Structure 1
Amino acid sequence: MSGAVEVVRAGALTTVQDEGRVGWAHLGVPRAGALDAPARGLANRLVGNPVDAALLEATVTGCAVRPDRPVVAVVGGAPCRVTVDGRPVAWGAPVHVPAGAVLDAGPAVRGLRSYLAFGGGLVPEPVLGSRSADLLSGLGPAPLRDGDVLPLGHPTPAPAATDAVPWPGVPAELVLPLSLGPRHSWFTDEALRTLTTATYRVSPDSNRIGLRTRGPALARTREGELPSEGMVLGAIQVPPDGCPVVFLNDHPTTGGYPVVGVVHGAALAGAAQAVPGTRVRFVVPGGGTVRGGAPS
């Protein structure tokens, strides 16, 4: 270990995340990992870390930490006010935090999740090859509490200075391209048209497990439920209320509600920052509509 950071203010929900536990779903282990992968990678690059280094994901209210050695840090993802010992510093760019100073990432001004990266990365003990916290299974470090201490890795060389950094924007509307299946035949033709033409809204009940939506219910042609079957990242499961749920990083690996389609993985980063009430549209790539159970 080469130093540590103490959690001064844990906020509503702050977790350690990296790229996640990729490749373990066949054993029933969820993926976990940072929901906004582009923000995770950019924050790490700006402090000289590999893109998959572990960092902090703070939700809505931000968090504050105190390193016991000088460290280069970046706060990115959801825009927020950033201070070091109460003095304003840059958001989205590397800042030098002296030993014993408090780095505070305030509440998100837009979006939901801010990312705090530190030179050398966070190095709590990995579980199945990842340091990510998984809220569903409980694997990895627990959600942070005030007073927790996290080890830092060895300092990395100072990154090159940058004039401008292209942080992804926070979506005013979430457009999610999808591929139908495997259970789209469980839904009426009208339901499939509704799915790809209606506007949904992000539900306040959304979390790291799934993006829940509110909007027109999708009518089914078959009653009952399926035996549990494998679920993938981005699967659009439809529970009994008929409103689509998009599975995110902490999703279960099996489920019994029918999956009407799967959102393309590259589009899921926007879901990490979509606040409750954000418009959601599901689209078929190429601009097609759905007729007779298939895109046209």
Structure 2
Amino acid sequence: MVVVRAGPLSTVQDLGRHGVAHLGVPRAGALDEPALRAANRLVGNEPGAAAMETTLGGIAVRALRPLTVAVTGAPSPVRVNGRPAAWGAPVTVPAGAVLDVGAATAGVRAYLAVAGGVAVEPVLGSRSADLLSGLGPAPLAVGDELPVGPRPPFGPLPELVPLPAPPAVLALRLRLGPRADWFAPDVADRLARATYRVAPASNRIALRTEGPPLVRTRVGELPSEGMVLGAVQVPPDGLPVVFLADHPTTGGYPVVGVVPLADLAAAAQARPGTPLRFAVLPGRPARSVGQ
């Protein structure tokens, strides 16, 4: 395939790099994993095959040989040589034809999978672009030629596993800890009552918020600690930041809690301005090493 329109931000993503955080390497990978898995299923790929992740504005590519593709994630118009084609279903693209995935009508990120997968060179076991460290392929640009792997031995599976619609209100469960004790004793109640909004500065590294700041009861800063996917870090402005796939592996701001991985796909599809509510899970806060 050759990219003829790259959109605001389009990258190659698979299920990410695992087992390398001790080297300071983020996980990366698709922000909406269920959508990536569904797109790969539709074209007959293995679940973790590399595909293209677009952001709001879609992408257009020219097929250099006949291809079978599928688009999932954010609902978007799909066209082949200007003619409407199916979203959420296998689509045949003849050699020389242009496949155009238009701007998302809801949500943020669409996934374009091709039978055989996007066969860019893997780095540390993954073909994912990592915007924080710069590992993997660079964000896609007009003229980029993307190799496609051999067709999978089994054919497309046209039954799309139902995916949730992009959230009108983003609800994120939150397990308190390990640094909830750096905040006022009623931090759980404050988080449960507050309504935040997804900030425009959100990206693949983190979902940033706008709303009532959390008040610290301790001064100073922590030494750098390990960070996990879904960690909710609170910088000096008091506004929670939810770490996503390209997050740093260490950080020094206190982590008030952690969002379960199952909730992060919805975060990947929440547009700026979407109301956000935290649902604090019952139980004692997690404790950090040395507490």
The two structures share one fold, judged by TM-score above 0.5: yes
Structure 1 gaps, min length 5: 291-296
Aligned residue for 2:232? Answer: 236
Q: Supply the AA of the counterpart residue of 2:155.
A: A
Aligned residue for 1:64? Answer: 60
1:91-119 CA-to-partner distances (Å, cap 9, x unmatched) read 11110000110000000000000000000
- What is the alpha-carbon distance in structure 2 between the residues aligned to residue 22 and residue 194 of structure 1? 34
Aligned residue for 1:293? Answer: none
- What is the alpha-carbon distance in structure 2 between the residues aligned to residue 77 and residue 243 of structure 1? 28
- What is the alpha-carbon distance in structure 2 between the residues aligned to residue 108 and residue 211 of structure 1? 19
- What is the alpha-carbon distance in structure 1 between the residues aligned to residue 199 and residue 156 of structure 2? 39
Instruction: Give the one of 265, 270, 273 matched to 1:269.
Output: 265
- What is the alpha-carbon distance in structure 2 between the residues aligned to residue 161 and residue 185 of structure 1? 50
Aligned residue for 2:45? Answer: 49
Instruction: Give the one of 32, 37, 56 matched to 1:36.
Output: 32
Say which SS state the counterpart of residue 261 (structure 1) adopts. strand
Say which SS state the counterpart of residue 103 (structure 2) adopts. strand
Q: Supply the AA of the counterpart residue of 1:60.
A: L
Shift of 1:279: 1.0
Instruction: Give the one of 233, 249, 274 matched to 2:245.
Output: 249
Quick check: 1:214 aligned with 2:210? Answer: yes
Q: Which runs of 4+ in 1 moved over 6 A?
A: none
1:226-258 CA-to-partner distances (Å, cap 9, x unmatched) read 111100000000011101000000000000100
Q: Which has the higher strand share?
A: 1
Instruction: Give the one of 69, 72, 80 matched to 1:76.
Output: 72
- What is the alpha-carbon distance in structure 2 between the residues aligned to residue 124 and residue 278 of structure 1? 34
The alignment of Structure 1 onto Structure 2 pairs a total of residues equal to 284
Q: Supply the AA of the counterpart residue of 2:93.
A: V
- What is the alpha-carbon distance in structure 1 between the residues aligned to residue 173 and residue 157 of structure 2? 36
Instruction: Give the one of 92, 100, 103 matched to 2:96.
Output: 100
- What is the alpha-carbon distance in structure 2 between the residues aligned to residue 131 and residue 289 of structure 1? 39
Q: Is the 8 A contact 2:198 2:272 kept in 1?
A: yes
Q: Is the 8 A contact 1:6 1:67 kept in 2?
A: yes
Q: Supply the AA of the counterpart residue of 2:27.
A: R
Q: Supply the AA of the counterpart residue of 1:15.
A: T
Shift of 1:168: 2.4
Quick check: 1:171 aligned with 2:167? Answer: yes
Q: CA RMSD in A?
A: 1.4
Shift of 1:165: 4.6
Q: Is the 8 A contact 2:18 2:27 kept in 1?
A: yes
Aligned residue for 1:128? Answer: 124
Shift of 1:289: 11
Shift of 1:178: 1.3
Shift of 1:169: 1.1
TM-score (normalised: structure 2): 0.95
Say which SS state the counterpart of residue 146 (structure 2) adopts. strand
Say which SS state the counterpart of residue 79 (structure 1) adopts. coil
1:63-111 CA-to-partner distances (Å, cap 9, x unmatched) read 0011211111001100011000000001111100001100000000000
Instruction: Give the one of 21, 45, 60 matched to 1:25.
Output: 21
1:175-186 equivalences under 5 Å are 175-186=171-182
Aligned residue for 2:190? Answer: 194
Identical counterparts, % of pairs: 66
Say which SS state the counterpart of residue 149 (structure 1) adopts. coil
Say which SS state the counterpart of residue 166 (structure 2) adopts. coil
Q: Is the 8 A contact 1:38 1:168 kept in 2?
A: no
Q: Is the 8 A contact 1:39 1:168 kept in 2?
A: no
Q: CA 1:68/1:38 → structure 2, altered by over 3 Å: closer, same or farther? A: same
Q: Is the 8 A contact 1:92 1:167 kept in 2?
A: no
Shift of 1:195: 1.3
Aligned residue for 1:13? Answer: 9
1:36-56 CA-to-partner distances (Å, cap 9, x unmatched) read 000000000000000000000
Structure 2 gaps, min length 5: 286-291
Q: Is the 8 A contact 1:191 1:220 kept in 2?
A: no
- What is the alpha-carbon distance in structure 1 between the residues aligned to residue 220 and residue 60 of structure 2? 48
Q: Supply the AA of the counterpart residue of 2:79.
A: T
Q: Is the 8 A contact 1:197 1:283 kept in 2?
A: no
1:140-182 CA-to-partner distances (Å, cap 9, x unmatched) read 00000000011100012322443x6513211111111111111
